[in-house]
């Protein structure tokens, strides 16, 4: 079937997201799927029990537009407890259908035709299309390999009167790097006396390793007052399929956010919000996540020590980059496809996170997997 007149695409250069492509290729080839980031183990039975409880109790109609008050209150307590920042649940917290929706909503609420938005590459793939759909112009800066840190001198050079937004992401997908307090101080200095809004994608806030502390922009009052902070229950509670997250921001920003949110999704899943509100009261449920995933990272990289892949252990997220310079000269997209088809292991080629498809011969592997999956995967990788 075809629409009879010609459609001029609003996103002419965008195809299907790499996560969908690689997950499908993994399924079609019966490969171990370390591409799209999601756990292959179950979430807590207690949490599932709570969702059931609230469904059976009849909490099955629309939640308030901004989210269930009880959930917003525990989010406020969590944010204050962790980052000493106070957000008013009434006016400054909104529950969303996952991180991606929150990011899209924040960008849409702020960016207008001709506004410039700075993003750092390799960049998670949902930022640029959201900027473009809103008529904004994406300004691409590159993180400095091998640590994938921000070059603040470069940021200073590109900031001008059209700069409306800077999008940061820590812990960083796809590289696993983290931003430091000194990064935040530099961001604060550069945005001082400007009207720049920050979108801080912190969906991996609890997945941080080796004793590092997550540097949320919430810890820095001067940054927090110009920032949308995005978080995800999917990452934190092993429930990516529930599509639940939230955004916190000062009232004037949140007012604009909600104007978009109410016509994008109106409100999100009611029984799950009840369940999360209760489950979040036990802080261990999120505070234990760093050590839980650090064990998985260590298990995976120990198994890879005998392989020809080179790597720097990730500081956060559940992704590990592996460099295959020592194995092949193939393009990373070709190599990722070949690994899936011939070796039965799927990953994400890093070049897709660069608008110029820069190929550093690196692939991203998700280690949010059972030990047996990691063993099988490493067994294959060590033979390549
Ligand atoms: N955040 C997940 C990842 O990086 C993907 C989510 C998605 O497929 N949209 O793999």
CATH of the domain at 348: 3.90.1150.10
- Which residue among 37, 39, 98 has the greatest number of ligand 1 atoms within 8 angstroms of its CB, and so is best to mutate? 37
Burial class of residue 1, CB neighbours in 10 A (0-12, 13-18, 19+): exposed
Residue 370 is predicted with a pLDDT of 98
CB burial of residue 94 (10 Å; 0-12, 13-18, 19+): buried
Mean pLDDT of the 140-153 span: 95
- For tokens 């800077």, name the residue: 166
Q: How many domains does the chain have?
A: 2
pLDDT at residue 61 tops 90: yes
Specify whether 200 is located in the same domain as 318. Answer: no
152 lines ligand 1 (CB under 6 A): no
The secondary element (H helix, E strand) that includes residue 272 is helix 270-279
d(CA 382, ligand 1 centre) in Å: 26
**Span 322-363, pLDDT tens digits:** 999 999 999 999 999 999 999 999 999 999 999 999 999 999
Mean pLDDT score, 124-152:
96
The rounded mean pLDDT for the chain is 97
Residue 301 placed within a domain: yes
Q: Which domain does 346 fall in, by range?
A: 18-37+287-381
Instruction: Tell me phi and psi for residue 343, to 5 degrees.
Output: -110, -10
Residue 7 pLDDT exceeds 90: no
Rounded to whole angstroms, how far apart are CA atoms 336 and 353?
A: 14
pLDDT at 3 over 90: no
Gap from CA of 229 to ligand 1 centroid (Å): 18
Give the number of other Cβ atoms within 10 Å of residue 20's Cβ. Answer: 12
CATH number of domain containing 61: 3.40.640.10
User: Which pLDDT belongs to residue 146?
Assistant: 84
Within a domain: 7: no
* pLDDT exceeds 80 at position 320: yes
Residue 6 confidence (pLDDT)? 77
Q: Is 125 in the pocket of ligand 1 (CB under 6 A)?
A: no
Joined together, the tokens standing for residue 302 give: 């120990």
* pTM greater than the 0.75 cutoff: yes
């Amino acid at each position: 079937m075809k629409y009879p007149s010609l459609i001029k695409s609003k996103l002419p250069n965008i195809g299907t997201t790499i996560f969908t492509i690689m997950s499908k290729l993994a399924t079609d080839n019966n490969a171990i799927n370390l591409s799209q980031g999601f756990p292959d183990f179950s979430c807590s039975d207690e949490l599932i029990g709570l969702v059931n409880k609230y469904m059976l109790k009849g909490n099955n109609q629309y939640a308030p537009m901004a989210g269930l008050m009880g959930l917003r209150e525990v989010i406020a307590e969590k944010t204050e407890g962790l980052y000493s920042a106070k957000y008013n649940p009434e006016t400054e917290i909104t529950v969303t259908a996952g991180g991606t929706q929150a990011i899209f909503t924040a960008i849409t609420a702020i960016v207008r035709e001709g506004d410039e938005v700075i993003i750092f590459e390799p960049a998670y793939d949902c930022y640029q299309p959201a900027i473009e759909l809103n008529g904004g112009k994406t300004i691409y800066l590159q993180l400095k390999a091998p640590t994938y840190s921000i070059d603040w001198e470069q940021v200073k050079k590109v900031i001008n009167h059209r700069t409306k937004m800077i999008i940061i992401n820590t812990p960083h997908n796809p590289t696993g790097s983290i931003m430091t307090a000194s990064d935040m101080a530099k961001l604060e200095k550069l945005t001082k006396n400007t009207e720049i809004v920050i979108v801080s994608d912190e969906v991996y806030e609890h997945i941080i390793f080796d004793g590092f502390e997550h540097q949320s922009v919430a810890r820095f009052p001067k940054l927090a007052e110009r920032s949308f902070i995005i978080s995800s229950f999917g990452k934190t509670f092993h429930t990516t399929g529930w599509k639940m997250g939230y955004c916190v921001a000062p009232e004037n920003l949140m007012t604009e956010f909600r104007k978009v949110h109410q016509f994008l999704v109106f409100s999100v899943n009611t029984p799950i919000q009840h369940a999360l509100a209760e489950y979040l009261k036990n802080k261990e449920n999120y505070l234990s996540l760093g050590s839980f995933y650090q064990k998985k990272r260590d298990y995976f990289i120990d198994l890879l020590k005998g392989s020809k892949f080179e790597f720097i252990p990730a500081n956060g997220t559940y992704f590990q980059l592996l460099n295959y310079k020592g194995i092949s000269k193939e393009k990373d997209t070709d190599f990722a496809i070949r690994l899936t088809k011939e070796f039965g292991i799927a990953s994400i080629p890093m070049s897709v996170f660069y608008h110029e498809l820069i190929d550093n011969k690196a692939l991203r592997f998700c280690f949010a997997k059972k030990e047996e999956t990691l063993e099988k995967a490493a067994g294959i990788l060590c033979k390549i």
